[in-house]
Amino acid sequence: AQKVTQAQTEISVVEKEDVTLDCVYETRDTTYYLFWYKQPPSGELVFLIRRNSFDEQNEISGRYSWNFQKSTSSFNFTITASQVVDSAVYFCALNTGGFKTIFGAGTRLFVKA
Of the pair 12, 16, the CB lying nearest other proteins is at 12
- According to CB under 8 A, which one of 1, 41, 43, 71 is a site residue for other proteins? 43
The reply on whether position 100 binds other proteins by CB under 8 A is yes
Chain-centre distance for alpha carbon 41: 17
With beta carbons less than 8 A apart as the criterion, state whether 109 and 19 touch: yes
- According to CB under 8 A, which one of 3, 29, 47, 59 is a site residue for other proteins? 47
Tell me the torsion sign for CA atoms 87, 89, 92, 98: negative
Chain-centre distance for alpha carbon 111: 17
Of the pair 71, 99, the CB lying nearest other proteins is at 99
C-alpha count within 13 angstroms, C-beta hemisphere, residue 33: 11
Stretch that binds other proteins, among 20-28, 69-77, 78-86, 101-109 (CB under 8 A): 101-109
The least CB distance from residue 16 to other proteins, in Å, is: 27
What burial letters (b/e) apply to 34-47, b meaning 16+ CB within 10 Å?
Answer: bbbbbeeeeeeeee
Question: Can you give the binding site for other proteins, defined by CB under 8 A?
Answer: 33, 35, 37, 42-45, 47, 50, 52, 91, 95, 97, 99-101, 103-106, 108
